[in-house]
Amino acid sequence: MEVDLTLLLFIFALASFIGFELISKVPPTLHTPLMSGANAISGITIVGALIVAGSLGNPLGKWIGFAAIILATINVVGGFMVTDRMLEMFKKKEDEK
């Protein structure tokens, strides 16, 4: 699929604006979980790693992709789980009330 660079830059800029707007009013309590959750989302690079490791091509490139999958998966799985662990405590509070 041929994609126009202008369009990709457009998407990039729009997504950045959404990111700015999304977290402008977070209470300090949630800063650490938010940082951790956002960090897990940045593990989205796993999608790129899958493409590099699974496509045909020079074996060296595929093995580099394999290493990328491992690191990105650690980031994704660990990131979401540890964020959940932090937020679980707030959930408990809400239920008690």
Length of the chain: 97
Question: Contact at 8 Å (CB) between 86 and 33?
Answer: yes
Minimum CB–partner distance for residue 38 and other proteins (Å): 5
Minimum CB–partner distance for residue 54 and other proteins (Å): 3
Helix (H) or strand (E) holding 5: helix 5-22
Minimum CB–partner distance for residue 7 and other proteins (Å): 9
**CA–CA separation, 37 vs 34, rounded Å?**
5
Tell me, residue by residue from 13 to 42, as one string, x for binding to other proteins by CB under 8 A and - for no binding. x-xxxxxx-xxxxxxxxxxxxxxxxxxxxx
Minimum CB–partner distance for residue 27 and other proteins (Å): 7
Using CB under 8 A as the binding rule, whether residue 6 contacts other proteins is answered as no
- Interactions with other proteins, residue window 37-96 (CB under 8 A): 37-58, 60-94
Q: In Å, how far are 14, 31, 36, 37, 42 from 80, measured between CA atoms?
A: 25, 15, 8, 6, 11
